[in-house]
Amino acid sequence: MEALIEPLLRGSAFATLLERFQGFLRDGGPILTILVLVSVLATTLIALKVLQLIRLRIGARGFVGEALALWRAQRIAEALVVLDASPNPIAPVLAVAMRGLGSPGVEPTERVREEVLREAAAQQQRLNAYTRGLDAIATLAPLLGLLGTVLGMIEAFRALEAAGGQADPGLLAGGIWEALLTTAVGLAIAIPAAAAVHWLDGTVGQLRHDMEDAVTRLFTGTLPAMPARPSPSSETLDAY
């Protein structure tokens, strides 16, 4: 089977692309090989993060209003069922708060608040998974590219010195081109990685805000309504 497949691969477009890629790696040196591995890692992290957000249904917010409405209607068990059915990180935080309060009309104690903060911090840590790795790649990829360029320039000028007065300008230009290749690849990796980090930070920040808003609505919903104060005009009329 391998004897039949190998001739097909040699004459195919895949074989041509593979040869060009191997030449590309040879031109860039070991730093370029490292950058290619880093690009594979960055792509994997971005894919894992996107799949995590899809699985958690990060954009779903309808269950919050439904659970709070059931809670205020004293249907606590049904509210907890709605929260337990949602994979969104807001759901377990609200569930901890509801179980801690026990029933509407009970003011949140310090212990309940601390438990809610603990659960919120755990969900935040879960959401930050893979982000630090992407941030590190966005920072280190241009530095690796610059290192490869510096090493390539050193090698090019060393070859120029060894050739003395017989140096070929074309050879020198080729050495500089190969050296600059790593910087271009490093930037090509860092730019989408940095963009992904900023997008993820914004998404997680919005979710954190919505989480705080949901818990605040739950806590303040347990407080008694403040009595209405008379308007200044009515007070003035009563005085007369």
* Domain boundary assignment for the chain: 26-220
From 9-18, 168-177, 190-199, 217-226, the region with the lowest mean pLDDT:
9-18
Token duo for residue 205:
């920040």
Name the more confident of 212 and 155: 212
Q: Are 220 and 158 in contact (CB under 8 A)?
A: no
Summarised one tens digit per residue, pLDDT across range 84-108 is 999 999 999 999 998 888 777 667 7
Rounded distance, CA 205 to CA 16, Å?
A: 46
Give pLDDT, residue 46: 93
Rounded distance, CA 67 to CA 87, Å?
A: 14
Q: Are 88 and 54 in contact (CB under 8 A)?
A: no
The CA-CA-CA angle for residues 169, 171, 175, to 5°, reads 115
pTM, full prediction: 0.72
What letters, b where the CB count within 10 A reaches 16 and e where it falls short, cover 153-179?
eeebeeeeeeeeeeeeeeeeeebeebb
Average pLDDT over residues 14-39: 70
